[in-house]
Amino acid sequence: MSIYTIIFIIFTALMIVLNYKTRSKRLTHQEIKAQRIQEQDDKKQRAIDRMPRFGYYIYHIAPKGTPLDEGFIGMTNTLDEYKEYLFTSLKSGKHNNKILQKAWIDFAFTEQDFHIIHENLSGRKACERMVELRSQNYMGWNEAIGGWAWNNSLFRD
């Protein structure tokens, strides 16, 4: 037997063993799906756990007397800073929510149309209330379920 034959036999045997080990580690489709669902649930929980315990506001932007299913619903735990950011970005035409930006440009609301509807909520309670108020995409001037277009995955199951 030549050295090349011996190397070939060893190499083939090694490949068979490695291939067997690789196949035995593969997950089924159901296991992969369950793993992804668990990762999404963990991500939701981590995001909620990072929130301060209390101090959340839920606000409604719309002319006074407008039903809550119309207009824009949002939440913040830094009310004054957020209001300043919100109206600065709207005035400069750079707000991420294009529906709200268009409503601002069309003079559908003013800074006086910012109304607090809930205050001093926990982060979890505020998220739950947001999902109740915005249970589907493109409700009122909101783009996403729960009003969180930037993190809509928090509310998708």
Among the listed residues 60, 76, 58, the one whose alpha carbon sits nearest the alpha carbon of residue 112? 60
Q: Which helix (H) or strand (E) holds 74?
A: strand 72-76
pLDDT at residue 53, rounded to an integer: 63
CA dihedral (71, 72, 78, 84) positive or negative: negative
> Could you give the CA distance from residue 108 to residue 102 in angstroms, rounded to a whole number?
9
pLDDT in single tens digits along all 157 residues of the chain: 788 888 888 888 887 877 765 555 667 888 888 888 888 888 877 776 666 567 889 999 999 899 999 999 999 988 999 999 999 999 999 999 999 999 999 988 999 999 999 999 888 888 889 989 998 989 999 998 887 644 544 444 3
Tokens representing 24 are 């035995």
Query: Side chain identity at 137, as an amino acid letter?
Result: N
Beta bridge partners of 60: 73, 115
* Local structure of residue 135 (DSSP, 8 states): -
Which are the contacts of 63, defined by CB distance < 8 A and separation ≥ 6?
71, 108, 109, 113
Question: Is domain 56-155 annotated with CATH 3.30.300?
Answer: no
In the chain, domain spans: 3-49, 56-155
